Structures are given as C-alpha cells and as structure tokens.
C-alpha cells in the first residue's frame, strides 16, 4: 500500500514545523492518514472553543501556587451567546461588578485576569505553569498584585473593567486564543496600562502562542516582565512600547534577591 503514496520532496522540512506541508498524495488526493489527521485537528479546535471552563479545577491549580483567587462572569450568559455577541464578553455581569465594587481597595499595581476566551483548553493546560514562571519576576519587581481573577465567557477587554473597578495601575489578561489547526491550546497575554472601559487594542501589548510547543513559559515570563518594568517606568503600553527584551542569558531563579521597587 505504501507504494501507492507519492512522497513530497519537501518531506525532510516537516521536522522543522508543525504546519501541514509535504503531505504526499495518492493519485490526485491526500493520503488517508493525512486526511484523518486534518479531521482530528479540526475536531480538537472545535472542542477547544466549546469546552466549558472548569473553574474549580483552575482555582485549585492556582491556589497551589499560594495565590488568592476570585471568580467573575461576563455579561454573556452562556457559550452560545458569547460566540454570537462579542460585546457582551467585554463587560462584566451585574453580580460580578458588585462583587468587585464591594472589595476593599489596596492600591494595586497589577491585576491579573485569567479568561477562557476562545480556548478554555489553553487555560487548563498552561495557566498554572506559566504563573509559576511569572511569580518570581513579580516578586523581583515588587508589584502589589491583586487576587487573581478567573473570568468565564471573557474577551480581552473584560480586563479593562476589572482593572478600573480595582483601581489597578495595570491589568494583565491571560486568555485562550482562537484555536488553529495545529494549536488548540495557545495562550495569549495582554498587558494594558491604566485600564478603563473603552481602551483600544492599540493601547495593549500582546504576547501570543504561549505553550510548550510555541513560546515556552520561562521565555514568555521574561518578555512579560520586561514589558511590565518598562510600562511602569514609561507609564504606557501599546504601540508606543516596543518589545526590546533580549533572550535571557540566565533565567530568573525563585530565590533571587528582590530589587528596588518600581516607581508608583
């Protein structure tokens, strides 16, 4: 049977990428194995979009890191409405808004929002190990970080309202990105200075494809820490803050001595 399959001369290049190249052919069609693999990837992407966020599991994983966690919900009541109405995913529902308004404010430098976005799979697989890589950097920068906020049916801009209600100087949103056919588990990081409702996407910095098969957790945490430090020094994020971080020569260890605090 293998004699019927004509291999693509680019076959050797496949080891450098997860993209679908050099699939070969059988007559004028794809080989059955390549077609089945495509169907599986498509199903995994659809599952990532529709899989509900397991809030209890995620809370437990984050609490293992010693972090206080609270939960909120967007104005989209369910997944179907979330997918049809992106605008509702950008605002909190009334109970969540009241919950945040009732909190005693503590002059927070940073609030971190973890939203399901278009792939709860990304949060389930990557949020806890990424936070484990990020926390040492936050300690080094001596930022006063609010309790982590887990958000259901969330879009990126939901973080603006959360940050505004908590009067935080900056908001970081960890969110599941739209799945690709080779990346159903990609996590996106969005950093916004002085969050408030109405912020534009051009006023954010984004680090995407955070996952073991993409930008790994230590590198992503290093890049984000550089952007955080510069955001507090320059008091801005977005198109005016370019990522000029270099690859770390030696990644930050958990026991590194704290550095002087950033300007408030």
Residue 1 resides in a domain: no
CA distances from 57 to 120, 133, 167 (A): 12, 19, 28
Total domain count, the chain: 1
pTM over 0.95: no
Residue 16 resides in a domain: no
Q: Could you tell me which of 163, 147, 140 has the C-alpha nearest to residue 225?
A: 140
**pLDDT value, residue 252:** 47
* Containing structural domain, residue 218: 54-234
d(CA 229, CA 11): 44
d(CA 125, CA 216): 13
Q: Can you count the helices (H) and strands (E) in the chain?
A: 7, 6
> What CATH number does the domain containing 224 carry?
3.40.50.11240
Residue 260 resides in a domain: no
Q: What pLDDT tens digit does each residue of the chain (264 aa) get?
A: 466 666 666 777 777 777 777 777 777 788 888 788 778 877 777 776 768 899 999 999 999 999 999 999 999 999 999 999 999 999 999 999 999 999 988 899 999 999 999 999 999 999 999 999 999 999 999 999 999 999 999 999 999 999 999 999 999 999 999 887 677 889 999 999 999 999 999 999 999 999 998 999 999 999 999 999 999 999 999 999 999 887 444 444 444 544 555 655
| Residues sharing a CB contact under 8 Å with residue 186, sequence separation 6 or more, in sequence order | 119, 122, 176, 177, 179, 180, 208, 209, 210, 211, 214
Residue 262 resides in a domain: no
**pLDDT value, residue 7:** 65
**pLDDT value, residue 5:** 63
Q: Tokens 């806890």 label which residue?
A: 128
**pLDDT value, residue 264:** 58
**pLDDT value, residue 106:** 86
Residue 199 resides in a domain: yes
**pLDDT value, residue 6:** 65
Residue 38 resides in a domain: no
Residue 188 resides in a domain: yes
Residue 7 resides in a domain: no
């Amino acid at each position: 049977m293998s004699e019927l399959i004509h291999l693509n001369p680019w076959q050797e290049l496949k080891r450098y990428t997860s993209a679908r190249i050099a699939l070969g052919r059988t007559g004028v069609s794809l080989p059955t194995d390549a077609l089945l693999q495509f169907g599986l990837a498509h199903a995994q992407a659809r599952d990532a979009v529709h899989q509900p966020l397991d809030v209890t599991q995620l809370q437990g994983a984050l609490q293992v890191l010693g972090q206080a966690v609270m939960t909120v919900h967007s104005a989209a009541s369910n997944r179907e409405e979330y997918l049809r109405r992106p605008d509702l995913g950008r605002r909190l529902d009334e109970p969540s808004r009241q919950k945040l308004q009732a909190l005693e404010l503590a002059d927070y430098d940073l609030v971190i929002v973890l939203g399901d976005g278009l792939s709860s799979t990304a949060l389930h697989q990557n949020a806890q190990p990424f936070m484990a890589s990020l926390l040492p950097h936050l300690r080094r920068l001596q930022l006063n970080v609010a309790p982590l906020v887990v958000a259901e049916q969330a879009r990126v801009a939901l973080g603006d309202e959360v940050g505004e209600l908590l009067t935080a100087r900056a908001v970081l949103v960890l969110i599941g990105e739209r799945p690709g056919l080779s990346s159903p588990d990609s996590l996106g990081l969005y950093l916004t200075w002085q969050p408030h409702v109405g912020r534009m996407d051009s006023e954010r910095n984004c680090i995407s494809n955070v996952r073991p098969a993409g930008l790994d957790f230590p590198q992503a945490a290093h890049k984000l820490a550089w952007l955080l430090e510069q955001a507090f020094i320059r008091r801005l994020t977005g198109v005016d803050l370019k990522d000029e971080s270099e690859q770390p020569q030696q990644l930050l260890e958990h026991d590194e001595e704290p550095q002087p605090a950033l300007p408030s």
